[in-house]
Amino acid sequence: MSLQVIILAAGKGSRMRSALPKVLQPLSGKPLLAHVVSAAEQLGNAAVTVVVGHEAEMVQSVMAKDFSLNYVAQTEQLGTGHAVRQANEVYGDDDVVLVLYGDVPLIQTATLNDLLGLVTDEHPLSVLTITLEDSSGYGRIIRDAHHQVSCIVEEKDATPEQKQVKEVNTGIMAVQGRYLRKWLGELSCQNAQEEYYLTDIISMCVAEGKGVATTEPSSEIEVLGVNDKRQLHGLERAYQLEKVEQLFEQGVTLLDSHRVDIRGELAVGQDVSIDINVVFEGKVTLGNNVSIGANCIIKDSVIADNTIIQPFSHIDSSQLAENCVIGPYARLRPGTNLSAKVKIGNFVETKKAQIGEGSKVSHLSYIGDTVMGANCNIGAGTITCNYDGVNKYQTTLGDKVFVGSASQLIAPVSIGDNATIGAGSTISKDAPEDTLTLSRAKQISLKGWEKPVKK
Ligand code: UD1
Ligand code: CA
């Protein structure tokens, strides 16, 4: 017996009013479908098949970046039962099939394990249900006098009495392969929506003389679906509040829990403080005593102990060692690697730059494709000219280099240890160590020169 997960993702999602298929809409920066696939993959040993239809190629090509999955096509959306039937080839009689929805993103692996644990020979089908104050729109769980499930009735087919039922079908179910195949073969579309309802297999299970097991998730947001932008927003906020709760548990100081977004994984040390309007993307690690100022965006980076990020800084794919001070208004682009005690000040852009311990680039500079030693001081307005329009070249600075303001270092070029570059220089040849190098037009003052007058 093995586990086969089938994720339904063929629907258009018209109510999103978007060219992007619904299952690719981002929640916490990741497609809805990717959340579902991750939960399925955490079950271990599960083979995952996605039923695609609307914009199938786009869905597959986006998902292929992060996952290798099986796909089956459902060219016409004739209902959830019809969708699962498209995957008949992928599961065997002895497999257990878990059906998930591509637009129900926050389902938890633990809940799925509970559901799967209920599948037995006596109960070859288990359904995840939830009790809602307002059950409108959902299929209702109908139980008999002994509280046993007898069927699911869709809203559009329900009697007024059935509509009163608050326990609903989340859509997520687990079922033995041999029964699933048999029951899917018996589905008809004689119902209000003229669709093949997957939910009809519940009454078929009962007719078979078998029981239907049910369980509920620990939290409602696990089973909330996304149909429009309002619901997407609701789930995003609920998800972010959960992330924030985890940060509070870890002792993080958040100046406003509603004004921080974690679109990925954030690992934190002790006494981390995060000011308002900070966005974390991808994988970010913050050491002890790291403080992040207001309005920063930090993506796929590691920031070590005691480093301070001042407001309005943007840090992408960078490594920062301890005791650095960054910003305000700094931009660290991919491949920035700072040793301890580095200072990067306002309006400084770095890219593929390795900067040694204690070096300072305090104002208005571009440092790209550069290896810089320790304790350098780079004056305001220094530019590494790394690009000739076709190729990129390297700039190398030794230790204790002083570069005067408004200098251009034309790569490839290298500056020796303890060298000084005079302000305003254009350096296109290597500069030796322990020496002042400058290139500067001679200054002249013209006596008797007269200012122009307005004609
Ligand atoms: C379905 C359930 C309902 C349940 C609700 C929970 C059925 C008949 N009804 O209703 O009991 O309360 O979900 O949200 O199953 N899809 C396809 N191909 C299709 C049809 C749907 O891939 O032909 C996919 C959709 O993209 C979506 C999911 O299946 O991800 C659910 O389809 P949807 O039409 O939203 O089902 P509901 O009518 O909401
Ligand atoms: Ca739906």
**Ligand 1 neighbour 379 (Cβ under 6 A):** no
**Ligand 1 neighbour 223 (Cβ under 6 A):** no
**Alpha-carbon gap, residue 115 to 111, rounded angstroms:** 6
Q: Quick one: average pLDDT of 319-327?
A: 98
Question: How far does residue 115's CA lie from ligand 1's centre (Å)?
Answer: 19
Q: Which pLDDT band, with edges at 50, 70 and 90, does 79 fall under? A: very high
Question: How far does residue 183's CA lie from ligand 2's centre (Å)?
Answer: 22
Max CA separation in the chain (angstroms)? 112
What per-residue confidence (pLDDT) applies to 2?
93
Q: Quick one: average pLDDT of 405-427?
A: 98
What per-residue confidence (pLDDT) applies to 87?
98
Per-residue pLDDT for 12 more than 90?
no
What per-residue confidence (pLDDT) applies to 62?
98
DSSP code for 194: -
Q: Which ligand is nearest to the CA of 173?
A: 1
What per-residue confidence (pLDDT) applies to 239?
96
User: Cβ(109)–Cβ(43) under 8 Å?
Assistant: yes
**Ligand 1 neighbour 139 (Cβ under 6 A):** yes
Q: Quick one: average pLDDT of 424-431?
A: 98
What per-residue confidence (pLDDT) applies to 153?
98
**Alpha-carbon gap, residue 21 to 28, rounded angstroms:** 17
DSSP string, 12-38: --GGG--SS-GGGSEETTEEHHHHHHH
Q: Quick one: average pLDDT of 287-309?
A: 98
Q: Report the half-sphere exposure of 73 (CA within 13 A, side-chain side).
A: 7
Nearest Cα neighbor of 195 from 70, 67, 74 is 74
Per-residue pLDDT for 205 more than 90?
yes
Question: How far does residue 225's CA lie from ligand 2's centre (Å)?
Answer: 6
Question: How far does residue 248's CA lie from ligand 1's centre (Å)?
Answer: 36
**Ligand 1 neighbour 199 (Cβ under 6 A):** yes
Q: Quick one: average pLDDT of 341-362?
A: 98
| Percent above pLDDT 90 for the chain | 98
DSSP string, 224-250: ----SHHHHHHHHHHHHHHHHHHHHHT
User: Cβ(264)–Cβ(282) under 8 Å?
Assistant: yes
| Lookup: tokens for 109 | 């692996």
Count of helices and strands (H, E) across the chain: 8, 37
Q: Quick one: average pLDDT of 6-28?
A: 95
Nearest Cα neighbor of 155 from 132, 175, 121 is 132
Domains by residue range for the chain, with CATH? 3-223 (3.90.550.10), 250-437 (2.160.10.10)
**Ligand 1 neighbour 198 (Cβ under 6 A):** yes
Residue 275, amino acid: D
Q: Which pLDDT band, with edges at 50, 70 and 90, does 385 fall under? A: very high
Per-residue pLDDT for 216 more than 90?
yes
What are the angstrom distances between the C-alpha of 444 and each of 48, 309, 449? 76, 44, 12
Cβ within 8 Å of residue 131, ≥6 positions away: 166, 167, 168, 216
| Percent above pLDDT 70 for the chain | 100
pLDDT in tens, 227-278: 999 999 999 999 999 999 999 999 999 999 999 999 999 999 999 999 999 9
What per-residue confidence (pLDDT) applies to 130?
97
> Does 363 participate in catalysis according to the annotation?
yes
Pocket probe for ligand 1: among 75, 80, 188, 199, the residue whose CB has the most ligand atoms within 8 Å is 80
pLDDT in tens, 33-60: 999 999 999 999 899 999 999 999 999 9
Ligand 1 nearest atom to the CA of residue 81, by list position: 15
pLDDT in tens, 114-149: 999 999 999 999 999 999 999 999 999 999 999 999
| Lookup: tokens for 394 | 């390297």
* pTM for the model: 0.92
Question: How far does residue 406's CA lie from ligand 1's centre (Å)?
Answer: 63
Q: Quick one: average pLDDT of 189-216?
A: 97
What per-residue confidence (pLDDT) applies to 108?
97
Across all residues in the chain, what is the average pLDDT? 97
What per-residue confidence (pLDDT) applies to 183?
98
Q: Which pLDDT band, with edges at 50, 70 and 90, does 1 fall under? A: confident
Q: Which ligand is nearest to the CA of 80?
A: 1
Per-residue pLDDT for 161 more than 90?
yes
**Ligand 1 neighbour 80 (Cβ under 6 A):** yes
**Alpha-carbon gap, residue 136 to 21, rounded angstroms:** 25
CB atoms within 10 A of CB 401: 25
Q: Hey, is 161 helix, strand or coil?
A: helix
